[in-house]
Each structure stands twice: as C-alpha cells, then as structure tokens.
Structure 1
Amino acid sequence: MNHQHVPAHVVPAAACAPTATDPDATDRFFNSVLSAVPRVGQATSVLVAHLLPSQPTFLKSLRRVSTLAAVIPKPNSVQKSVRRPLEKLTRCDELSRSDLSRPDALVEYLELRAAGQPVVLLDVGGYFAPGLAAACTGFSGQVLGVVEDTENGLRRYEEFDKLACAVYSVARSPLKEAEDRLVGESIVFSTEALLRSVGEVLTGRPACVIGYGKLGSSIADALHARRTPVNVVERDPVRLIHALSVGHRATRRLHDVLPEAELVSCATGSRCLTTTDMQHLRDGAYVASVTSADDELELTGLAEAFTGEPVAPHIMRYRHRGGSFHLLNEGNAVNFLHGSALGPSIHLVQAEMLLALTQLADVPHPPGLCELSAELRHHIADAWVNAFHPASHPRSAVSIRELS
C-alpha cells in the first residue's frame, strides 16, 4: 500500500474501527472508578442523553452515586431497545432545547421532578444553559452544578459573562480525544453507507470539511485515509496551519471550495451553512453533519428557497433554480443512523462525568467553569487500561481524596 499521500498520524480505517464492548470489562471499569469515590451526600441527577447501547451500564453507575430523577433523550439518537428498559427505571421526558429556552422553564421542570432536592444537571448540548441563572435563584432545591459533555454545549455556557453555578466541562478533556477520533470514523462510515445506498461511492469524491476542531480533523483524516481529496475550511489560523501541516488543502473562504465539493461535512457546531450558502453547493453534492441540524445548518428558509423530495431512506434532494443538493439524515448527525458504535472509548467520558458529579456533591463549588484534575483523569485512564487492555502489573486503587 502506498502511504505517501496519507497524513503521518492517520490510522487506516480498519486499524481504528471500534470493537464490541465486553460487558464484564465495562462493569470492571466502572466498579474500579467508583470504588475510589468518597462517601458523598446523595445528589439528585437529571440527565440529557443519547439513548444508545453504550448507556445502560453508565446509567447503572450513575444511579449508584445519585438519585436519577429523569432522563431527557436527545431526539435524534434514541434506540427503542435502550429506551424500553430505561423507562422501567426512571422517567423519560420528551424535551428539546427550545422547550427549555424560557428562563423559567427549567425552574418549572426541576420543581416537577426534583422539588427541594440538591441537583446536578448532566448536559449534552447546552439544554440547561438558558434557564440556569433562574434555576439557581428560583428553584426550591439547590442546583449544585452542571456537567457538560459537548463543545457546542460548552460554548452556550461560555456565552454568559458570569455563570450562576459551577459548570464542569468534559468537552475539552484529553480523555475525550479517543472518542472524538472514533466519532469522525463513524461519521465517514455512515456517510459512505448512505452514498452506497443510492449507488454512489466515496473514494475519489472531492470533499469539503467545514471546521477543523477535534471532530472535523478526525473526519478529514478518515476521508483522506479512504483516498478522498479533502479541502478544509477553517477560520482559526492555528487550526488552519494544523490542517495544512498534515497534507490537507485548507482555506478560510467557504465559497472558494463549495462549488467544487461533491461531499460537504459540517463540523463546527455553530451554523456553518446558511440557505444562501446552500445555493453555492455543487450540483448533486451531498451534505452531512456531525451534530444536530439546528446547530450546523440554517434550515428555516429551506422550504422557500428549495423544493425537497426524498430519493432514498435518510436522503433528501433539494432543488433550486441553479441545481440541487442532497441532505443526509435531515441535517442531523449521520452516525446515529448506525448506532454510533464507538466501543469502550465512550466510557472514558462517561466516567469523567460521574466523577465530576461526585465532586459537585462532595464539596461546595463557586460559580464558574471547572475541570477534573489531571490526577483524577489519570485514575480513570488507569482503570480503563486495566479493564479493557489488562496490564501485567495493574496499579491498586486509590481514593479520590488522595488524588484531589
């Protein structure tokens, strides 16, 4: 195989493909992580979550360190086989970010589910950001803090000049890097599967990746490894240099590359394509997203500017006077169509969320952004390696208080 056109740090797809998680190893991992947790006051938790096969063991562990009041499923990533047994254990509330957008909406919801209780909010995408200040002052219980999993969600909290409580960020943790690499791989896998469903191939198709953060870079590398030429669009000059340094073509100007791209991957989390931009897409291009449609795409004017028609399951063709483009999975994250299987790497982030919850429940935190210490992350990583890749001489467990 000729490697000269593949960036040096890119691992071939087969080498980084996720494997099935061993349930016994998963239990050993969470048991090891939680065995070191100090005895803390029992907090109540409310969780926003993707209901995918990786969740049940995490939820079991979450219930060991908190009273789980309710789960708010992310609407575009719910598997019935996961949801049905979950509904026997706790409430599943159909709420969107827009449902919680009124300042008093979160207060009303917490009064319904956890009146008078100390609460930790486990967030994926900034659901609780609009109402957080009101909840910290108007809720009959106490909001101990928030744990946010995603970059776009963290940005929603960072928009406030002053946070009303502590917000633990998991989004930029080094433990999340393994997950990010596999998310990029799963995005490309699902994109290729959808193209093949209509008789198209991915290899050799000129691609544009908008955004070269952790997910965008992993998508670009996965495409490059499949011998797909990649143009990166990135406004940040440091990230632009990173893209160029590994062999991608890169520019700051979106409209320089849109007319050439037959595949566009949106990976910014902050509205990277407007309705006007879509009219500059190459005729017949395919558009895929890494997150929710309302985060990446301006779809409000789509019906007025384009005529839509389904061409295959999860593929819509939108026509306008100058041509057409195909939108995959209604603009939502394409990898959720195939379960977004990431193997055991997903448990690293879940464990960090658990320990962040125990930190909030253990001692009062001042308002502001927080992260777990390097020592606590090392503890999680050590437990993960011993569970999924047993070492010759695994370290003995230590207490969280010793590491703090």
Structure 2
Amino acid sequence: MNPLYVKGAHFFEDIQPPHRSDLNLAVVTHLLDNPQVYLDSLHSFANLAMLLPKPKSICPKILEQLEKRFQVVIKNRSQMASAEVAAAILNNAVPRGDLVLVDIGGYFAACLSAIAPLLKANLIGVVEVTENGHQRYAVLPELAVPVVSLARSPLKGPEDYLTGQSIVYSAEALMRECHHIMNGGNAVVFGYGKIGRSIAKALHAKNINTKVVEIDPIRAIEARSRGFDLIHKDEALQTSDVIFCATGNQSLNNHDFNRVKNGAFIFSVTSSDDELDLSRADCNFTVNRVTEYVSRYERLGQYFHLANSGNAINFIHNAEVGPYIYLVQGEVVAAVNYLYENSLDQQIMELPTSIRRDLAERWLRHFS
C-alpha cells in the first residue's frame, strides 16, 4: 500500500473512538480509486450500515469491492428528497439502534423534517461536510435533529485550497487534450468562496488574466483587495475564454449559455445539478464529444466547450489533495462520536475548538 495510505490508516487508529455496538451510520461519500481507509475507520467503531455513493464520482473498481462488504444504494439527491423513499431505504439497512447520517451536499436536507417519525432507528443527528449542504440545512425552518457542520471548519481549509489547485490542474489537462492552452486568454471565476479563491490564486500564479464574478459584497471586496478585477456576469460570459463555476448555487442558467464567448471552456467545481442549468442547453445545442471528458455545444455559429458534462472536473484525476483529506475525514469521525456522546440542541453547530485542536495535533504527529 502507498505510504500515504499507511499513514492515513495509522492516523485513524490514533483518533478512533470506543466501539459503539448500537450506533449505525448511513454515509454519503465519493468513491475514488484509492484505499478506503476512511470508511474502514468509520466501520471500526460503528456499524457502517449503508453507503450512498455520489453517482457522479464513482470508481467502478472500488464500488465492486465495497458492494461485497456493505449495503450500497446509489441514489441522487432528488431521489432522496422524498421522506417515504429515504425512510424505506434507511429502514431496510437500519432496523434498530441509533443512527447518524453522514452527508455530503445536503442529501437528507429536503426530507429531514419528515423522516424521523418514519424511521425504525433512533435518528440522533447529521454530519454535513460541504458548504452547499450546510446552506441546504440552514434554510430549513426548523431542524428535527442536531446537524454538525464541518463546512466552515478551519480543518477543511487546506482541503478547499488544494481542491482549487486541483481544479486548475484538471482544467489545463483537459484543454491540452483539445489542443488549447489557457495562457494568452481571459479567465473568470464565478464565486469567490474558499475554492473559487484558490482557483483565482492558481490562475494568477500562472500569469493568466483572471477576473471574478461575485454577488456577495464582502467577498467582492476581498477579491478586489487581492488584485482581481470584478466583472458583471454578462461581460464575463462574452469576453472570457475559460469559465470556472464555483458558486455551488447555479452559476449559469439556460439563458446564460446563449451569451458564452465562441470557443470558451466551461469548468465546474461541483455537480451539474448544483452549478449549471443544462436542461435546455442539452436540447437547444448540438452536442458532440471532442474528447472523453469534453463536449462541444454548437448552434447557429456559436459554440463552447463543457467539461465532464458540467460535473466537478477534479474527480477525473482522482481529486488528489494529499494527506489533508484525512483532516476532514477525521473531523467526520469526531463529529459522529460527538453526536453520540452528547445531548445536543436541534440546530446547526460546529465541533468545539478543543476537539479540532486535538485532531490537528494528532495529524501533525503522523504527517509532519
């Protein structure tokens, strides 16, 4: 096994909580082509009753391996929005005991208020990893159970930063396969959040003319203070050769595609369901595959390129962020245990600083 994964396994052994025989987990996860030391860790202290792989980030080889060990259910977020459907799936996997939902992207947000009375198990809480998911839980009028969010944790910062770097790496690789390069063109980043900020910084470091579209005035000021010109969406679409969509909240709608500059490349940092409204574009444009992961959309003399069907491009190259992913996954382990050990209010919360500090110190001992 790669030494990185060996160290990861040792890190998870170091932070592993006591075994909880009555605790069950339903885990939304990406299934990338690497050893599943994180899932092994979760299963070592609780019953990993069900996996819900994100449909657009599944390595078939890893899926085949995990189906031999766990109950695996492949559903998208819209399918899990029905409380009856979600409850039936969960009841089949978890007929008794306590249950924690480990979420990526708010899979259970739409049904959370209605699902608890339908479950056979005792739902004690949710752990949410992403900002997109955090926002989906935050807009609910009330929460049926506590939600521990890691989206804004300082331990997630390194992963977010490296995700932005990996997005730019993947974008360059995909463009080169189409015999294009970024240098000499204009780039725009939609959204100056943690990942958008990292993308903009990586582009600037490569001497690529980069501007930012940001509707939040506080983030817009930060982008400006970092030397990035702010630009309105219309101008960005008409003048940018490379477009990075990093808002998590539909950067481009159906009408926007009509204004994209000829030949532009569009890249997303998350799933097309969240970032792009492609329902009419797929019908209004002729779509031809240029390479395995890049398609050309064309009509009436206008054309642009869309990568990975509008889904996150870094997963094409395994979304590699090194050992920093273990910080986030380690915080998931700690958050599950925190929900189990404490009677918490039904609200969104973060882990105490003392727990994060302990995780960081242990990570440093293994990886520094």
Is the Cα–Cα contact under 8 Å of residues 21 and 343 in structure 1 kept in the other structure?
no
Residue 184 of structure 2 is aligned to residue 204 of structure 1: yes
Q: 1:265 aligns with which of 234, 244, 262?
A: 244
Hey, what does 1:340 align to over in structure 2?
319
Hey, what does 1:124 align to over in structure 2?
104
- The residue type equivalent to 2:258 in the other structure is Q
Hey, what does 2:174 align to over in structure 1?
194
Q: Distance in 2 between matches of 1:259 and 1:302?
A: 17
Is the Cα–Cα contact under 8 Å of residues 293 and 330 in structure 1 kept in the other structure?
yes
Q: Secondary structure at the match of 1:269?
A: coil
CA RMSD of aligned residues (A): 1.4
Is the Cα–Cα contact under 8 Å of residues 19 and 46 in structure 2 kept in the other structure?
no
Hey, what does 1:376 align to over in structure 2?
355
- CA deviations over 1:160-192 (Å, ceiling 9, x no partner): 011110011011100000000110011111111
Where structure 2 has 5 or more consecutive residues not aligned to the other structure, the ranges are: none
Hey, what does 2:9 align to over in structure 1?
27
Structure 1 residue 65: deviation in Å? 1.9
Identify which of structures 1 and 2 has the higher relative contact order when contacts are C-alpha pairs closer than 8 Å and 6+ apart: 1
Q: Distance in 1 between matches of 2:192 and 2:319?
A: 20
Question: Aligned pairs, how many?
Answer: 367
Hey, what does 2:262 align to over in structure 1?
283
Q: Distance in 1 between matches of 2:18 and 2:51?
A: 25
Hey, what does 1:176 align to over in structure 2?
156
Q: Distance in 2 between matches of 1:101 and 1:85?
A: 28
- CA deviations over 1:73-120 (Å, ceiling 9, x no partner): 111111133222212210111111121122322211111111223110
Q: Distance in 1 between matches of 2:184 and 2:66?
A: 43
Structure 1 residue 277: deviation in Å? 0.7
Structure 1 residue 228: deviation in Å? 0.9
Instruction: Give the TM-score taking structure 1 as reference length.
Output: 0.88
Structure 1 residue 322: deviation in Å? 5.2
Structure 1 residue 360: deviation in Å? 1.1
Instruction: Give the TM-score taking structure 2 as reference length.
Output: 0.96
- The residue type equivalent to 1:29 in the other structure is F
- The residue type equivalent to 1:269 in the other structure is G
Hey, what does 1:239 align to over in structure 2?
219
Identity level (%): 38
Structure 1 residue 304: deviation in Å? 3.2
Hey, what does 1:326 align to over in structure 2?
305
- The residue type equivalent to 2:241 in the other structure is E
Structure 1 residue 290: deviation in Å? 0.2
Q: Distance in 1 between matches of 2:320 and 2:128?
A: 21
Structure 1 residue 287: deviation in Å? 0.3
Hey, what does 1:317 align to over in structure 2?
296
- The residue type equivalent to 2:53 in the other structure is P
- The residue type equivalent to 1:337 in the other structure is I
Is the Cα–Cα contact under 8 Å of residues 291 and 332 in structure 1 kept in the other structure?
yes
